[in-house]
Amino acid sequence: MRLDAVGQRSETVRRANLSAIVRELHARGPLSRSELVAATGLTRSAIRGLIGEFVNAGLATEERAELRGTPGRPSPVVRLNPTGAVVMAVEIAVDSIAVAIVGLGGQVLELVRVDRPPGHTSVDEVVADLAELAATVRNRAWSSSNLIGIGVAVVGMVRRTDGFVSMAPNLGWTEVPLGSRLARALDTDGPIAVANEADLGALAELRRGAARGHDNVVFISGEVGVGGGIIVDGRPLTGVAGYGGEVGHLPVNLNGTPCRCGSSGCWETEIGEQALLRLAGHPPDGGRSEVEAVLREARAGSLPALGALDSVGRWLGVGLAGLVNVLNPQLILLGGMFGRIHPYVTAAVRAELDLRALPAASQLVRIVPAMLGVDASLIGAAELAFEPLLVDPAMWLRRRTVDALASA
């Protein structure tokens, strides 16, 4: 291994530089060589060499830029090849399952979502249904030799190291080795990364949605269950094992109603879909269509509907005040049901924040609806699956070269 004058191994530096380039292109889209120089701090000649490696491996293309009226030669534009490396994204939500194929750079190439009746379903059934969905998207335009990994979003608490689902109360699952079950069912020996759906929703909003450019974010999402994804200094907060972000089980009301987790008065018992529907006089298990009915009533001025939304907004503000005091975020993103009810709860949330969050922290935080909608977690699962390539593209470039030699 060659060593440079200051004792750092050149190979380490090369890997870090390849990573910096592919991250920029993946996050920001096509960039000129000049923009890459500005973004990475590398020299123009180094950029040229490193880009060449991506182009040779079929992961990027370079094209002559338009003349822009600026002096000097136009800088060629580098663009990732979306089918050069793809990932499979899988989601297990409360009321649907979904599979997507996403290309390097973030383009969604295929996406199939199938609704399921909410409630408990066996692991066997869900895994079999996912295998079937995966087979349909796999047999399309892209070549499976370019599949570099699988990312899975699941509505439960996940140990990141091995994709073990410790509990998923909304599915009725406990202690499910989901990572290994899916590896067998999808017949892959490539990497499978599993994470909580709210954590992945936050990651997606950070990379491609409303939280872009923000480093300290609280994402709260939910329907029946309430989940959270937290970004600290630009990085997802996972905690020691990956269980972080379970904001739905903040204790906010010790005299409150029993929670599916075994405790009582958890935040989600006061702000979840069932609380809203119960307060509005609708069947608590009515699901999203009943929530839409409550919103229609509120638009028409119905007092019970407006009162129910106000109560949920107040409790939403109470818990958010606690999170603002602990985390000092600049942005709170409301996803899922909270995104849909956002216009009706903003005033109540702000009132509780003004009362209960410390002013210095409260004044800095904006509250906005999430942008990516129902597919946020699926997009986050794809980002999770791309992470190994973004961290160490050199490994993938080498593999690509070996494959090319083998098939020659």
Residue 347 burial class via C-beta count within 10 angstroms: exposed 0-12, middle 13-18, buried 19 and up: exposed
Min separation Cβ 167 and a second copy, Å: 7
Min separation Cβ 248 and a second copy, Å: 8
Min separation Cβ 3 and a second copy, Å: 6
Q: What is the Cα–Cα distance from 217 to 219, expressed in whole angstroms? A: 6
Name the residue nearer to a second copy (CB basis): 43 or 144: 43
Name the residue nearer to a second copy (CB basis): 105 or 317: 317
Residue 224 near residue 94 (C-beta atoms within 8 A): yes
Min separation Cβ 212 and a second copy, Å: 15
To the nearest 5 percent, what fractions of the chain are helix, strand and coil?
A: 45, 20, 30
Q: What is the Cα–Cα distance from 215 to 234, expressed in whole angstroms? A: 4
Name the residue nearer to a second copy (CB basis): 47 or 100: 47
For strand 96-103 and strand 86-92, is the pairing parallel, antiparallel, or unpaired? antiparallel
Min separation Cβ 381 and a second copy, Å: 20
Name the residue nearer to a second copy (CB basis): 245 or 380: 245
Q: What is the Cα–Cα distance from 338 to 315, expressed in whole angstroms? A: 12
Alpha helices by DSSP H, listed for 41-185, are 44-56, 123-138, 178-185
Buried b (16+ CB within 10 A) or exposed e, 4-40: eeeeeeeeeeebebbbbbbbbbbbeebbbbbbbbebb
Min separation Cβ 11 and a second copy, Å: 9
Name the residue nearer to a second copy (CB basis): 158 or 385: 158
- For residue 96, give the nearest of 80, 109, 114 by alpha carbon: 114
Name the residue nearer to a second copy (CB basis): 39 or 232: 232
Q: What token pair was written down for 145? A: 């030799």
